[in-house]
Amino acid sequence: MKKLVNFLTDESPKMLKKIDKMLENNSSAQYYDALKQEIQAGNEVDVPGIGLCVTNSYLVYYKFGIGATLYIIPISNITNLYRTNMDNEYLYDAFFLAIEKTDGQKQLICRYPRNGKKSLDIYNQIIDAVKSKIAIQGGAQ
């Protein structure tokens, strides 16, 4: 898979149609234009392989597969971010990133196998990048 940043900035009619479809009936659509401007300015951390990108103002997650969805979450709406392998008392064989938002919702994103040091390094990189952005914007951690 190509980098998420390349996917988001591809101006081909086919790709624009695909992105529009992923954003329809999705609250993330309102942030898309501002996100593209940030990416074009070169202010992002892209994590290939799990469909995640972090800019100064947004965390972007691309959910693969049938019913693919693009989530654009403003950093200012994130109160906490951590790695977990549990949800509602269920233990999973993979890690997720858990995002707690200002509206009280928790969202699990970025499923990744729970084996090896590589998966820990990837999640720690993401968590550090997002928490540094939260701190810069004066958000809670």
Give the CATH number of the domain where residue 44 resides. Answer: 2.30.29.30
Q: Which two tokens stand for residue 47?
A: 């994590």
- Domain assignment present for residue 141? The answer is no
Domain that holds residue 16: 4-136
- Domain assignment present for residue 16? The answer is yes
**Tens digit of each residue's pLDDT (9 = 90 or more) over 81-110:** 888 877 666 666 777 888 999 999 988 888
Q: Which two tokens stand for residue 64?
A: 């693969």
Residue type (1 letter), 66: I
Count of structural domains within the chain: 1
Q: What gap in Å lies between CA 95 and CA 86, rounded to an integer? A: 8
- Domain assignment present for residue 116? The answer is yes
- Domain assignment present for residue 58? The answer is yes
**Tens digit of each residue's pLDDT (9 = 90 or more) over 117-135:** 666 777 788 888 788 877 6
Q: What gap in Å lies between CA 54 and CA 42, rounded to an integer? A: 11
Specify the residue for token string 């709406």: 77
Nearest to 134 by CA among 48, 66, 75, 74: 75
Nearest to 4 by CA among 70, 96, 83, 77: 70
Q: What gap in Å lies between CA 55 and CA 4, rounded to an integer? A: 12
- Domain assignment present for residue 52? The answer is yes
Say if pTM beats, i.e. exceeds, 0.85.
no
